[in-house]
Amino acid sequence: MEDKRAGFVGLGLMGNLMAANAISAGWQVSGWNRSPDALTRLQDLGGVAVARIADMRHLPTIVFMLPDLPHIEEAARGLLESWEQNPPAPHTVLLVMSSVSPTGIQEFGRRVREVSAGNAQVVDAPVSGGTKGAADGTLAIMAGADDEEAFHRVEPLLGSMGTMVRHLGPLGAGSLAKACNQLVVGTTTAALAEAAELAERSGLDPAALFEVLAGGLAASRVLDIVGPRLAAKDYTPTGPAKFMHKDLSFVLAAAGAVGAVTPMAAACVELYGELKRQGLGGQDLAVVRQAISNLSHGAAQAAEGTLAP
């Protein structure tokens, strides 16, 4: 009989919605979050709040949805220490659904396997689809697992949160796929932001422009979802823009490891780094339009200074 117990570590914008869908699908969810408000929401949905992540040590699957791998490693420290003393049951899975370094997750997987006496392993399964996909349960989930059986054990849980669930290879494959996803999303969003700024400064309505683009070869899911926010200059967070800088840095690291050239990623790492320097990192990804506008303003001021007598 399928064991439908799962732990969730990190109940933020994405994690809270993902856990809610798991509960709706019949999973018994235990959750931990630094903010107590998120735990109250989980309990209202029928989940159980735990005081310590180590209290999840007996669960067959523990999901981590925290900003980056260092946060996960810190949060999991007590859990792993408990496993060193008393190893978990065989086939335990730590399911990392955050966007993390493809090489870093492999090292974390080796550490987990070592401290658990081989009874636990890591599966990386980052997601794409944003808060809308998380709310609707339609996330695209790209997974990496050294043991394909481990993937199949967590596949029903993943299926409660996403409609496209694919095992792509060994541990780290999911994170590499997510890095490629972010390369496309990050560069496309930046290109649309440039188009919106160019159009508006030239007297065109960006919303009307995007409507026309959606009927041609430039049509994309990024245009459909992010385009309206870019046109309206609506930067209410659905996911902090600063994370794109992190994710594109993973692209550069992965490319360097295999000798691939990624000029678009390199350019956008600089752009999203500039976005963070401007103090815009906590706003929505669409705020890259504001970052570009600020650069344009700065360039115009510099040009005026050059031409001044």
Q: Is residue 2's pLDDT more than 90?
A: no
Q: Domain check: are 68 and 92 in the same one?
A: yes
Q: Domain check: are 151 and 196 in the same one?
A: no
Terminal Cα distance for the chain, rounded: 82
The residues with which 29 forms a beta bridge, in sequence order, are: 6
**Among 171, 204, 228, which residue terminates a domain?**
171
Banded model confidence at residue 305, pLDDT cuts 50, 70, 90: low
d(C-alpha 102, C-alpha 162), whole Å = 21
CA distances from 135 to 71, 148, 153, 292 (A): 24, 28, 23, 30
Helix (H, G, I), strand (E, B) or coil at 48: strand
Catalytic residue among 132, 178, 233, 276: 178
The residues with which 121 forms a beta bridge, in sequence order, are: 93
Question: Which one is predicted more confidently, 212 or 35?
Answer: 212
Mean pLDDT across 156-170: 98
Mean pLDDT across 72-98: 97
Q: Which 8-state DSSP code applies to residue 308?
A: -
pLDDT at residue number 302: 66
**Among 111, 139, 171, which residue terminates a domain?**
171
Contact 188, 227 (CB under 8 A): no
Q: Domain check: are 108 and 210 in the same one?
A: no
Closest CA to 269 of 240, 239, 301, 247: 247
pLDDT at residue number 303: 63
Q: Is residue 307's pLDDT more than 50?
A: no
Q: Strand pairing of 61-64 and 5-9?
A: parallel
Q: Domain check: are 123 and 219 in the same one?
A: no
201's CB contacts (< 8 A; 6+ apart) are 296
Q: Domain check: are 278 and 227 in the same one?
A: yes
Q: Domain check: are 164 and 207 in the same one?
A: no
- Burial of residue 138 (CB within 10 Å: 0-12, 13-18, 19+) is middle
Could you report the per-residue pLDDT of 91-131, keeping only the tens digit for each?
Answer: 999 999 999 999 999 999 999 999 999 999 999 999 999 99
Q: Domain check: are 163 and 119 in the same one?
A: yes
CATH number at residue 263: 1.10.1040.10
Q: Domain check: are 180 and 292 in the same one?
A: yes
Q: Domain check: are 201 and 275 in the same one?
A: yes
Q: Is 132 a catalytic residue?
A: no
Using only the alpha carbons of the chain, give its radius of gyration: 21
pLDDT at residue number 239: 84
Q: Domain check: are 241 and 187 in the same one?
A: yes
d(C-alpha 284, C-alpha 265), whole Å = 19
Q: Domain check: are 17 and 78 in the same one?
A: yes
Mean pLDDT across 141-147: 97
d(C-alpha 228, C-alpha 217), whole Å = 18
CA angle, residues 134, 129, 258, in degrees to nearest 5: 130
**Among 154, 171, 188, which residue terminates a domain?**
171
Q: Domain check: are 115 and 24 in the same one?
A: yes
How many structural domains does the chain have? Answer: 2
Tokens coding 37: 């408000």
CATH number at residue 32: 3.40.50.720
Q: Which domain holds residue 285?
A: 176-307
Banded model confidence at residue 298, pLDDT cuts 50, 70, 90: confident
Q: Is residue 309's pLDDT more than 70?
A: no
